[in-house]
């Protein structure tokens, strides 16, 4: 055997404490939140995530920051609509989706 380490021992070197992965399926970059930080933004795709700390130095993603996710989704949708309008030969830009009033 070329390497005398077990599988668990060899994987130990690749562990990243204090980091989480972006939950965006098309991104999955590593995010390093500051200790105690409750929100972290992905440097690659711009998605923002709520963070909770299991213990010091051990963060986990709690879920998305909905305002940021909604804004990114609307921007992507507007971009797609503009591309489709350009393909169809329309000169007018795509209209912005209406914002719903909160209850």
pLDDT score at 34:
94
pLDDT score at 38:
95
Range of the domain at 55: 17-88
Is 1 inside any structural domain?
no
pLDDT tens figures, 19-42 = 999 999 999 899 999 999 999 999
Q: Say which range, 40-49, 67-76, 87-96, has the weakest mean pLDDT.
A: 87-96
pLDDT score at 91:
53
Is 97 inside any structural domain?
no
Q: Residue 63 and residue 75: Cα distance in Å, rounded?
A: 20
Is 68 inside any structural domain?
yes
Secondary-structure breakdown of the chain: helix, strand, coil percentages, each rounded to the nearest 5? 30, 20, 50
pLDDT tens figures, 49-75 = 999 999 988 999 999 999 998 999 999
The count of other CB atoms within 10 Å of the CB of residue 32 is 12
Is 5 inside any structural domain?
no
Query: Structure pTM?
Result: 0.66
Q: What stretches of the chain adopt beta strand conformation (E)? A: 20-21, 30-31, 39-41, 48-55, 58-64
């Amino acid at each position: 055997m070329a390497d005398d380490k077990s599988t668990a021992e060899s994987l130990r070197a690749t562990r990243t404490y204090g980091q989480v992965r972006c939950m965006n399926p098309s991104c999955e970059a590593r995010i390093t939140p500051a200790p105690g930080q409750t929100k972290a933004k992905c440097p690659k795709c711009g998605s923002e995530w709520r963070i909770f700390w299991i213990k010091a130095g051990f963060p986990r993603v709690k879920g998305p920051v909905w305002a940021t996710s909604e804004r990114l989704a609307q921007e992507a949708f507007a971009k797609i609509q503009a591309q489709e309008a350009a393909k169809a030969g329309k000169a007018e830009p795509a209209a912005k989706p209406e914002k719903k009033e909160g209850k």
